[in-house]
Amino acid sequence: MACRVQGSAAGMGVALICLAFAGSVAAQGAAKPASPDADAPSSDPHDFDGVWFTRGYDRKFRPVEGGMPPFTEKGRKDWERNVAADKAGMPVADAPTACLPHGIPRLLASPYPIQIITVGNQMTWLHEVNRNQRFIWLDEKHPANLEPTYLGHSVAHWEGDTLVIDTTALNDKTRIDEEGITHTTQLHVVERIRKINGGKELESLITITDPVMFTKPWTTKRTYEWRPDVRIMEYACEENNRNAPVDGVTRAK
């Protein structure tokens, strides 16, 4: 098995990535008719299956109209504290610093590829970064009394050519972005995703609601490029993690 060592952005750790993944995942999906052009994305606006990749990396989430998020007093104080700690060279750790899931929506900005696989009413997003996996249930409702988790519970439906993903039941152990915007368990995230540029890109408008941290909902955006040349690789954050806890304390380096 061939391996390589890959460095990551601040707060994500250094991961040992090994070529060991594709077989079992490929077996989960039914075979599809071959495209006339193997490198061309599907012409079906409802078919997101394949590998997608962000262009570059932006560690901040900002409203699409510009400016800062509509912070409450608490939301701004938390953000200012985290930004100050980062500038002082002592960034405050959060879940992915200890190789735990990144949370939603922070995971959506990660500069690593994503493979989308749809089988029946289940859409699975395989994020290369630290093996994060999202399970999105089509045309279902959220169950009652969900326990909060790192990636929450996601359901989705189609509105024309736009996939609307609704995520709730998120715990408060993650951040909204790497810079330092925080949230509570009242966080509610809605993604509106559609194909653009002839199907070569996915545009995702991400609406964030948390009445404790923000005075109103706000929307940010991410774009993903179709990458048939990329295969998802193993990302073992726990190995060579420069941010591993010491004496029970984790602080990003």
| φ, ψ of residue 216 in degrees (nearest 5) | -160, 165
Percent of the chain with pLDDT over 90: 66
Q: Please tell me the predicted confidence (pLDDT) of residue 241.
A: 66
pLDDT tens digits, one per residue of 51-104: 999 987 888 999 999 999 999 999 999 999 999 988 887 777 788 888 889 999
pLDDT tens digits, one per residue of 94-133: 888 888 899 999 999 999 999 999 999 999 999 999 889 9
* Interacting residues of 145 by C-beta distance below 8 A, sequence separation 6+: none
Q: Please tell me the predicted confidence (pLDDT) of residue 17.
A: 33
Q: How confident is the model at residue 135 (pLDDT cuts 50, 70, 90)?
A: very high
pLDDT exceeds cutoff 70 at 37: no
Closest CA to 239 of 6, 1, 22: 6
Q: How confident is the model at residue 224 (pLDDT cuts 50, 70, 90)?
A: very high
Q: Please tell me the predicted confidence (pLDDT) of residue 243.
A: 63
* Mean pLDDT computed over every residue of the chain: 84
Distance between CA atoms of residues 201 and 144, nearest Å: 35
Instruction: Kindly write down the DSSP assignment for every residue of the chain, as one continuous string.
Output: --EEEE--STTS--EEEES--HHHHHTTSPP-PPPSSTTSPPS-TT---EEEEESS-------TTSS---B-HHHHHHHHHHHHHHHTT-PBP-GGGGT----TTGGGG-SS-EEEEEETTEEEEEESGGG-EEEEEET--PPSSPPPBSS-EEEEEEETTEEEEEEE-B-SSSBSSSSS-B--TT-EEEEEEEEEGGGTEEEEEEEEE-TTTBSS-EEEEEEEEE-TT----EEETTTT-TT--BTTB-B--
Q: How confident is the model at residue 238 (pLDDT cuts 50, 70, 90)?
A: confident
pLDDT tens digits, one per residue of 4-36: 334 444 333 333 333 333 333 333 333 344 444
163 compared with 28, residue with greater pLDDT: 163
Percent of the chain with pLDDT over 70: 79
Q: How confident is the model at residue 253 (pLDDT cuts 50, 70, 90)?
A: low
**Domains with residue ranges and CATH for the chain:** 47-229 (2.40.128.20)
Q: Please tell me the predicted confidence (pLDDT) of residue 141.
A: 97
Q: Please tell me the predicted confidence (pLDDT) of residue 38.
A: 62
Mean pLDDT of 234-241: 78
Mean pLDDT of 207-232: 97
